[in-house]
Amino acid sequence: MSDCLVIGGGVIGMMSARALVISGASVTLLDKSECGGESSWAGGGIISPLYPWHYDDLTNELSFASQVVYEELCDELYESSGINPQYIKSGLLMLDEYDSETAVNWMDRFNVSYKKQDNGALFTNIAQVRNPRLLQALKVDIVRKGVKVVENTQVQSISLSGDRAIGVKTNKGEFIANNTLSCSGAWSGDYLNLEDEVFPMKGQMIVLKSKAESIKNIVLDQGRYIIPRADGRVLVGSTMEDVGFDRSTDEDTKNALRRFAVDRFSILNNAKIEHHWSGFRPASRSGKVILGKHSRYENLFVNTGHFRNGLNMAPESARRIKKLINNE
């Protein structure tokens, strides 16, 4: 029996498992398929909300605190795993909204500034990671730290003793633990009865192959973004589609994303589309992160509903849920 059972092997689940095992807990992590294979992998890796004034204080608190530790965390993961998450402080050039009254008031409140550019506002401190590599490094790291990872294991229900959670029932049998933590993202509703429903919000993205350093900064405009990787690949995203768990991609969206990028950088005009994919963000009906104790059952904790911001809030989300579970 483990001290803590973590359900979900995305960035939130693995970061939470890491925080718990470092604190001295014995941890088992379950994933329905393979760790890092869903929304955490599918996103862009920007370590900031896209338009932070659209979000509540908790989202911004979690993001600010995570931004402070991310570079050191990536160094630790690289040293532990041998896999470089490619943390780059590339800055984010925002072409719209930055001068709206809401944005100005938010920046005044949180003491955030930018460098004025001819075509927008450059937020120089915004960084990115190559999220698939971050997830690979995280998995290696937590296993080396002692987390027992059990993949291809579908949770069917919470195991209860009265009003106390004692583990979960799965397609591979029952797993028992002193504490159970749900980090299942958009799949939380498969087994977890939450007052604030979590549902999938699909996003489609493409990656273009260009020359290294052809684009310097992350660019954000009209809700979409362009992310230059160190090797010249350029990620372009992303749509917002409330269509359930429909993984399909379509040519119209692929072409629209490519036009969005080429319209802003003519150097991408001849860049080939290497890949086109979709992922499912864990959205909550309230629009807020769900982080804390379950409202009904003892020893059951929840860390989900991060929507577009799971990766950029993960370290602080993990630290806070660890403190709750350990009664710190």
Spell out the per-residue pLDDT of the chain, length 328, in tens.
889 999 999 999 999 999 999 999 999 999 999 999 999 999 999 999 999 999 999 999 999 999 999 999 999 999 999 999 999 999 999 999 999 999 999 999 999 999 999 999 999 999 999 999 999 999 999 999 999 999 999 999 999 999 999 999 999 999 999 999 999 999 998 899 898 999 999 999 999 999 888 899 999 999 999 999 999 999 999 999 999 999 999 999 999 999 999 999 999 999 999 999 999 999 999 999 999 999 999 999 999 999 999 999 999 999 999 999 999 8
Give the residues across from 93 on adjacent strands. Answer: 122, 219
* Residue 96, SS3 per DSSP: coil
Encoded tokens for 277 = 């994919």
Encoded tokens for 234 = 């350029």
pTM assigned to the model? 0.96
Exposure b/e, 276-303, CB count within 10 A at least 16 = b: bebbbbbbbeeeebbbeebeebebbbbb
Residue type, 88: I
Q: What is the CATH number of domain 1-88+126-197+286-328?
A: 3.50.50.60
Task: Quote the crossing angle between the two packed helices 57-81 and 310-325, to the nearest 10°.
Answer: 90
For the chain, domain boundaries: 1-88+126-197+286-328
Residue type, 93: L
Q: Is the dihedral of CA 276, 277, 283, 285 positive or negative?
A: positive
